[in-house]
Structure 1
């Protein structure tokens, strides 16, 4: 059993193309930037034993940090639960800003914005889902399990909203 190339991997054939450099994403840290839970039903003696109407709003924000290849990505959720009546009453209001510090390498500048607002929130979402579930349970309600969020669709929606005023001005 002799090795002809000195123990290294086989050499690539001459004239082959290089493999594309894959993006590299690393989570350096995660944090709750802001958390608020208002149990309105308990404060105002609202009957919260009804089937609630729950509205979830999601917003995303990203910014470059001073360190090379590092970015902050913040996911903002506003979850409002109301009774289903002619005059709906608030049951609870949960607001959460959850952030991640990411190191992103090998992503072109023109692809960085969608990468930060699609891939990074996908990495944060399981942790956000758990916080929402725990907070609603600890607030005296059944744990709220958020449905999976399609961050690609959300990104496209935000782009369309930004483009609409520009088309109106033209």
Structure 2
């Protein structure tokens, strides 16, 4: 006679619960440098986007705050002069349950930013349009690749730090 597993080992894990409780602009800065300096004719823009993510547990149980820090700088391709600079910290407050502890870090830095990014993208589009430029519609960000690149960078930094200590 076959034995059945004890202690609920054959039960399916509880499904992940995630709710976006709030989203907000924590900090926003837009500088139209082209208008301040004056324009010298037609300019071809070169746009650079930097993304940084931060997550922390809040004091309320199962609540986390994720902040997406976006820096968008547009420079003239020919002149390398800055046309505009936009910096925005966009935050989301999430209620998350049933995510294993070892999976919480990637969940917070991949799934949560993925949920709030479309809203941040719309704000950036509106700000650049209202600032006198064509609306900037950012392409979707691959948060999985961003997370993996950051892990690789940290491992490389740790490895080079260990080598320096050994030398």
Q: Same fold (TM over 0.5)?
A: yes
Q: Within 1, Cα distance between the matches of 2:44 and 2:138?
A: 16
Match of 1:29 among 19, 22, 30: 22
Aligned CA RMSD, in angstroms, stands at: 1.6
**Aligned partners of 1:148, 1:34: CA distance in 2, in Å?**
21
**Inter-partner Cα distance in structure 2 for 1:72 and 1:156:** 21
1:50 to 39, 43, 65: 43
For residue 153 of structure 1, what is the aligned residue in structure 2? 145
| 1:74 to 1:117, Cα distance in 2 relative to 1, 3 A | same
Structure 2: distance between partners of 1:47 and 1:116: 45
Q: Highest CA radius of gyration, 1 or 2? A: 1
Is structure 2 residue 91 aligned with structure 1 residue 99? yes
Distance in 1 (alpha carbons) for counterparts of 2:39 and 2:116: 34
Corresponding residue for residue 31 of structure 2 = 38
When the two structures are superposed, what TM-score results if normalisation uses the length of structure 1?
A: 0.87
Distance 2:42 2:95 in 1: 45
**Contact kept? 1:46, 1:89, Cα under 8 Å:** no
Q: TM-score, normalised by structure 2?
A: 0.89
- Shift, 1:127, TM fit: 0.1
State whether structure 2 residue 112 is matched by structure 1 residue 120: yes
Long gaps (5+) in structure 1: 1-13
Relative distance call for 1:48 and 1:154 in structure 2 (3 A) is farther
The alignment covers a number of residue pairs equal to 156
- In structure 2, stretches of 5+ residues that fail to align are 163-167
* Deviation, structure 1 residue 48: 6.8
Deviation at 1:50, TM superposition (A): 1.9
How much has 1:23 moved relative to structure 2?
Answer: 1.1
> Aligned residue for 2:130?
138
Q: Deviations over 1:76-111 (max 9, x none)?
A: 0000000011x4101000000000000010001111
Q: Which residue of the partner structure matches residue 73 of structure 2? A: 80
